[in-house]
C-alpha cells in the first residue's frame, strides 16, 4: 500500500507540474486555447491571472514532492495536507469553472489520499 500511495501521490504531483506549465507558459498559445476551449484572444487577456494560478499549482506539486524527502513523522501529515488542498481546489474548480476539473484534479488526489490513509494503518 505504501508503494501505491507513492505512485498515486507522484501522479498528482506530476499533474500539477503539467498544470503549472500549461497555465504559466502555454496559456496564451493555440495549445492552451484548445485545451481550455476558449478563444485565443480571451486567453491572451487573462495571461497574468493564469500564470498566478499556475504558480499555485506549482506550490501544490512542491508540497507533494516534499512529502517524499522530509522526515517520516512529517511526511505523512504533509502528504495528507497537500492532497487535501488539491481536493479542495479541484472541487472549487469544478463548482466554479468546469465540471471536468473534478475528475482531472480532485479524483486522483482523493484516490491518493485514501490509499495513503490505508497504507498508514
Report the pLDDT averaged over residues 57-71.
Answer: 97
> Cβ(115)–Cβ(79) under 8 Å?
no
What digits encode the pLDDT tens for the residues 85-103? 999 999 999 999 999 999 9
Q: What is the pLDDT of residue 94?
A: 97
Q: Let me know if 13 is exposed, middle or buried by CB neighbors in 10 A (0-12, 13-18, 19+).
A: buried
Other Cβ atoms less than 10 A from the Cβ of 70: the count is 15
CB burial of 76-111 (b: ≥16 within 10 Å; e: otherwise) equals bebbbebbebbbebbbebbeeeeeebbeebbebbbb
Percent of the chain residues past pLDDT 70, beyond the cut:
100
Contacts 24+ apart (CB under 8 A), 30-35: none
Q: What mean pLDDT is predicted for residues 52-59? A: 98
73 has pLDDT over 90: no
Q: What percent of the residues of the chain are helix, what percent strand, and what percent coil, each to the nearest 5?
A: 85, 0, 15
Range 39-63 average pLDDT? 97
Quote the pTM value: 0.95
Domain boundaries, the chain: 2-119
What is the pLDDT at residue 95?
98
CA angle centred on 66, ends 7 and 18, rounded to 5° = 60
Amino acid at each position: 500500500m505504501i508503494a501505491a500511495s507513492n505512485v498515486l501521490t507522484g501522479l498528482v504531483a506530476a499533474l500539477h507540474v503539467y498544470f503549472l506549465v500549461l497555465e504559466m507558459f502555454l496559456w496564451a498559445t493555440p495549445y492552451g486555447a484548445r485545451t481550455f476551449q476558449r478563444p485565443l484572444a480571451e486567453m491572451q487577456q487573462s495571461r497574468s491571472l493564469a500564470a498566478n494560478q499556475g504558480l499555485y499549482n506549482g506550490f501544490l506539486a512542491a508540497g507533494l514532492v516534499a512529502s517524499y524527502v522530509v522526515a517520516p513523522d512529517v511526511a505523512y501529515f504533509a502528504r495528507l495536507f497537500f492532497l487535501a488542498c488539491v481536493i479542495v481546489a479541484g472541487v472549487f474548480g469544478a463548482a466554479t469553472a468546469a465540471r471536468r476539473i473534478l475528475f482531472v484534479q480532485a479524483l486522483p488526489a482523493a484516490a491518493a489520499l485514501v490509499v495513503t490513509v490505508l497504507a498508514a494503518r
